[in-house]
Amino acid sequence: MGACGRDARGATRAVAAAISERAGRPNRRCAARTGASARRRGGRSEGLGQLDRERSATARRVRRAAAEPAIRSRRAARALERDRRNARRIPRKTPAPPAISRIVAVRPLAFANICTIESPYYVDSKDGIDTPRGDIRLARQARKVAITGLGAISAAGATVDELLRSVRGRASGIRALNLEGLAKTFPAGIVPHSFEPHFTKLELPFLDRCQQLAVLAAKQAVADADLGEFSAHGERAGVYYGNVNGGAQTGIEWSKKLLVAGKQSARPFTAMAVMGNAGAAQIAIRNKVHGPVITNATACGSSGVAIGDAARAIRDGYLDVAIAGGAEAPLSIGILSVFDGTRALSTPDPDDVSKSCKPFASNRSGLVLGEGAAFAVLEDAASAHRRGARIYGYVSGYGVSSDATHIGMPDTAGQIACLRSALASASLSASEIGYVNAHATATNGGDVIEAEAIRAVFGADRTSAPVSSTKSMHGHLLGATSALEFVISTLAVHASVMPATLHAESGIDPKCELNHVGPDPREASIDHALSFSCGFGGTNVALIVSASHC
């Protein structure tokens, strides 16, 4: 056999030597023969002969003998390891199913019960009954949402205290507005103050009048809440803001300069004063709010949706505190001319311009625009109690709906759905509501449709919830109106007073028949008040405020 044979014998002896070494029995003779075989790989060729055959047989015997202990050792090691694994093995336990609650009738829309959160997750029932998906909801404790701070600036008062005095004193802030470039005189809810002294010269170029109102009203609410630094809450503090027109006045002024004076571009900071979310951003910056800063633009319900969404975020545990509300400054030539084009604006009362807004009255002639801002500080109720905060009441219900019929005409069915949703979310019946602040803008069609919706839910007899519209005092603040009326409803609960509907001396329109509060405010204890708003686009929003003892 040639070189290949010698290579094979050499490899065999090398394997035998390695096996012997691993088994603890070194074979020096085999190792020596392996070395000799390696030396012969130089190319010499010779026959095996008898000696080589004997050596091959010996190598096979050595290999078998050397491998046997190793095989036995590996088998024993595998068995030992298997026993150890079995000894460590622990039976897996099946986790207990989470607690569930059976919902007989799923509540419509938005705010879930203040005591439970209804989740869409399906869980097998504890009693083993196979309940259809959708009838089972996870239940857990939800947090109550306390109102601990209020701020308001409007034609009815530049502070919350002034607003309450106007409500009790039947004071109207509606005045005649004359603007250069408009031939008409419009009645309007005018705030008779300039707020520029409250800001530095460096701040003013960034602030439209709308943002000035927003910043100052929010500042009132924050000071009233006495909560300390919002930065201490990190990302668990938020700003929820409602607005329609943004910094429209600033935009219109620069448009006039472009068209009349020939200026080709505005100043660099004008964009920051015009944008719709500028008010929310300014509030967040000044109060060091690092959580969500959100602007809603859903017409007249904008700030109401902002308050409802903020309350829901706190209730569901996403936030601990929020500044929520809205601002609007629509008393500019552009916005007035646009609304005048809708034929919805009121004509001035010939005897007294302050009586031009007449909600539900038989001689009503249209809405009166107003400017202003209103904000509330909402807080986890448990936290408010721990720090000894004054609590005006709780946001106990929130309903929101869309008519989905016409962008400019309200719909009774959509409004009814919104009102019932708010009641269901607060686990209240219509008979438990002690006061309703109606949207009632004094338009011919809108007041009738809203009255139909309120009658359908609350009734119209003397035992039903008393109803009034405070727009007769402050005008229609568009995106900020629902926030201002929420503040008024909160004051109604906290101060035990029902605001009146002013300027209906001619009598209530028979189509708007309800349990009206009347021309004078009533002193009465109110456990639950509902504030309702609706607007162009068909968005409806209802908020329920419950007394602090409820």
Q: What is the CATH number of the domain that holds 180?
A: 3.40.47.10
pLDDT(123) > 70: no
488 close to 167: Cβ distance less than 8 angstroms: yes
Question: What does the pLDDT look like over 432-450, one tens digit per residue?
Answer: 999 999 999 999 999 999 9
Overall average pLDDT of the 293-304 stretch: 98
pLDDT band with cut points at 50, 70 and 90 for residue 45: very low
Residues 16 and 108 in one domain: no
Distance from CA of residue 497 to its chain's centroid? 31
- 270 and 372 co-located in one domain: yes
Whether residue 316 lies inside any domain: the answer is yes
The arithmetic mean of pLDDT across residues 48-56, rounded, is 68
290/375 same-domain check: yes
Q: Let me know: does 376 contact 221? Beta carbons within 8 Å.
A: yes
For 137-161, what is each residue's pLDDT tens digit? 334 468 999 999 999 999 999 999 9
Q: Tell me the C-alpha distance between 303 and 324, whole Å.
A: 8
pLDDT of residue 411: 96
- pLDDT at residue 134 above 50? no
For residue 256, is pLDDT > 80? Answer: no
pLDDT of residue 97: 47
* CA distances to 167, 173, 490 from 467, in Å: 14, 21, 15
Query: Does the residue 378 lie in any domain?
Result: yes
The region of weakest confidence among 87-91, 175-179, 209-213 is: 87-91
For residue 225, pLDDT beyond 80:
yes
CB within 8 A of 290, min separation 6: which ones?
Answer: 231, 234, 235, 237
SS (H, E, C) 445-464: HHHHHHHHHHHHHHCCCCCC
Burial class (CB in 10 A: 0-12, 13-18, 19+), 343: exposed
Check whether residue 184 and residue 112 sit in a common domain: no
319 and 283 co-located in one domain: yes
Q: Which residue has the higher pLDDT, 42 or 545?
A: 545
Q: Is 439 assigned a catalytic role? A: yes
Domain's final residue, options 85, 110, 142: 142
Q: State the burial class of residue 462 (Cβ atoms within 10 Å of its Cβ: 0-12, 13-18, 19+).
A: exposed
In a domain, 219, yes or no: yes
Do residues 407 and 514 both lie within one domain?
yes
Same-domain check for residues 172 and 307? yes
Q: Is 82 part of any domain?
A: no
CA distance 173 to 175: 6
**Statement to judge: residues 54 and 120 lie in one domain:** no
198 flagged as catalytic: no
Contact 233, 263 (CB under 8 A): no
Single out the catalytic residue among 474, 476, 494, 528. Answer: 476
pLDDT tens digit sequence for 306-360 = 999 999 999 999 999 999 999 999 999 889 989 999 999 999 999 999 999 999 9
Is position 85 within any domain? no
Domain that holds residue 30: 3-74
Per-residue confidence band for 20, with pLDDT thresholds at 50, 70 and 90: low
Given the residues 233, 439, 474, 516, select the one marked as catalytic. 439
**What pLDDT score was predicted for residue 124?**
37
Same-domain check for residues 370 and 427: yes
Asked if residue 90 is part of any domain, the answer here is no
pTM of structure: 0.76
| Cα dihedral sign, 462-467-468-469 | negative
- Based on the domain organization, do 122 and 198 belong to the same domain? no
Catalytic residue among 30, 210, 233, 300: 300
Number of structural domains found in the chain? 3
- Are the beta carbons of 538 and 406 closer than 8 angstroms? yes
Q: Which residue has the tokens 């047989």?
A: 57
Q: What is the mean pLDDT of residues 184-193?
A: 94
- Whether residue 273 is contained in a domain is answered as yes
**Domain shared by 12 and 114, yes or no:** no
Q: Are 189 and 121 contained in the same domain?
A: no
Phi, psi of 335 (to 5 degrees): -70, -40
Per-residue model confidence as pLDDT tens digits over 394-410: 999 999 999 999 999 99
Local confidence band at 4 (pLDDT 50, 70, 90 cut-offs): very low
Q: Is pLDDT above 90 for 430?
A: yes
Residue 193 a catalytic site member: no
Domain membership flag for residue 89? no
